[in-house]
Each structure stands twice: as structure tokens, then as C-alpha cells.
Amino acid sequence: MQQISLLEKSNGNKISVVPTMGYLHKGHLSLVEKAKNFSEITIVTLFVNPTQFAPNEDYSKYPRDFKRDVELCEKAGVNYLFMPDALEMYPIGFSAKINIGRVTEDFEGKFRPFHFEGVATIVAKLLNSTLPNFAVFGQKDYQQSLLVKKIVADLNFPLDIIVAPTLRESDGLAMSSRNIYLSDEDRLEASILFVSLEKARNAIENGERNRKIINAIMHKTLRSVKNLRIDYASSALADTLESPDEFLPGETIVLLLAVYLGKTRLIDNTILKIPSILKSNNSAFEEFKA
């Protein structure tokens, strides 16, 4: 893979890479489209990375359909598909681990303790294997996108990271390979994630700046679905994931949530700017202050 990339670069071509774990959907293909705007050559990597799954998680049953993925990549005009096997990426004796620190500690990091170490290590390996000028990641895995930016900045990887917006189904559910796990009944309820993000956004646009109240709005909305368990539904500063009591006008924040709907774990997020308006006294969100 490195030799191919070096050859392409010596021919004057720029390279973008889209790292994936396969089972491609429209969201991945939108990342490919984005990548094509930046470079002559697009590489998709397809590797279900065992080290980012805990033993109790869904590594072995993570959905796979390599034949279909190859067809989709061909149709989308992908130039190279890099599909290493686990032993190529992790030969006997492999022991390196990349720990990115702060931005990976809360939220997903709390509920999936070894996940980000696995992600950081494989992302570094995939970038070093494909030697791209650009790498495109989806905003849906928001914390992952922060982690990738940190790897590139802290470890001097010579490339630019592009974060592309989340693609949604018509009811607002973020596209994800894991949506296939949802039962028909759970799929009907799954729009509640988007609804809760939108309710919090609406409150913020109406002047709410108190982090606990914003979080309570998301919690209350999510709790309206019986078969749902919340891992977290929280707001934080978008760049650092710090959690001040009040957000300030002009700050960019992220609303992050992870829930189990039945047995399926779903994540979603929204990025928004705290508007520079005065909060009205008769806030429509008074009830959450109780």
C-alpha cells in the first residue's frame, strides 16, 4: 500500500483516505464524495479493528459484507481499497499502543475504556500505510474526530483532517452500520436521539446556557422511550470537551449522546454556537431548573 501511495504521489497525485470498518452505507459514500473534492486519488480502508472492541462488545458479530463493499467502492469511483487482515495489522508480538489523553477520557472513553486506545493505534497505522494528504472522518463519531486531530497535531502526521457532516435518515436517525441491529419497533423509536438533540438546540437558541439544564432536556426527552437506556446525554465545549457550569455567548459546544435502544448502542451529536442573545426571564425551560 505504501509503495502504491508513493508512486501516485511521485506522479503528482494527491491522495485522500477514508478509513472505515466496512458495511458501507450512504454516510460512508458521502465521505468518499467529500474526499474526491480534495484529491485525484481516493483510498478507502476497510478493516474491522479488533482492538477497539472490548471482549463484551460486538466485534465478532459486527456486520460485514465485503463483496457488497467492494462493489459500492467501485461504483463510487474509489481508486484503491485497502483491506488488510488482522494478522497483517497485528502480527504476533505487536505491542504498541497510542494513548491520546484528555479528549478521550469522558463520554465514550468512560463507557468504553480501551476503545480509543485501539482507535488511535489503528488510525495511526492506517495513515502510515496509506500515506495520504487528506483523511476524511465522519462527525458522527465526534470524539473520534477530535482524537484523530490530536494524533495528527501531537505526533506530526503530515496531512490534513477533514470532518464531514453526519448523514441522516428522513426521521433524523444518524446513518450507522449498527442501525441494522435495530428491531422494527426500536427503529421506529430511534428518531428520539435526533429529537432530543434538537430540543436541546432549541432551548439554547432560546437563551439557555446552563449545562445541567441543557443535559436535563436531552435526558427527559430520551426517557420518553421505554426501551431506552442512557449511557450519557451531555453538553461540552466542542474543542476540549470541558464541561463548564454555564456556556458563554460565542462558544462552540457539542451535544453528545450514547444510548442503548434495546440491545443496540447508538451515538449521535450536534455542534452549535451559543448565540449572543440575552436569556429571557420567562424561559420555556424553567421546569428543568427544579
User: SS3 for 281?
Assistant: coil
| Annotation marks residue 28 as catalytic | yes
What residue type is assigned to position 33 of the chain?
E
To ligand PAF, the closest distance from the beta carbon of 99 in angstroms equals 16
List the catalytic residue out of 25, 28, 115, 219.
Answer: 28
Q: What per-residue string of b and e applies to 134-150 under the rule 16 or more CB within 10 Å gives b?
A: bbbbbbbbbbbbbbbbb
Residue 177 beta carbon to ligand PAF: minimum distance, rounded to whole angstroms: 8
Minimum Å gap between C-beta 122 and ligand PAF is 5
Q: How far is the CB of 45 from ligand PAF (least distance, A)?
A: 7
> Distance between CA atoms of 252 and 270, rounded to whole angstroms?
11
C-beta of 38 vs 195, nearer to ligand PAF: 38
Give 217's contacts (C-beta < 8 A, 6+ positions apart).
Answer: 196, 199, 200, 203, 208, 285, 288
Neighbour count for residue 282 (Cβ, 10 Å): 5
- Residue 204: all three cell numbers together: 439554547
CA 246 to chain centre: 25
CB of 19 to ligand PAF, least distance (A): 4
Q: Which of 33, 44, 45, 38 is nearest to 14 (CA)?
A: 38
Q: Which position has the grid cell 460565542?
A: 250
**Distance (Å, rounded) from C-alpha 290 to C-alpha 280?**
17
Distances (CA, A) of 71 to 56, 175, 176, 234, 241: 32, 19, 19, 39, 38
Rounded to the nearest 10 degrees, what angle do helices 192-205 and 211-222 cross at? 150
Of 137 and 194, which has the nearer Cβ to ligand PAF? 137
Binding site for ligand PAF (CB under 6 A): 19-21, 49, 52, 119, 122-123, 141, 144
Give φ, ψ of 286 to 5 degrees. -50, -40
Closest separation in Å from C-beta 261 to ligand PAF? 20
Q: Which residues are catalytic?
A: 28
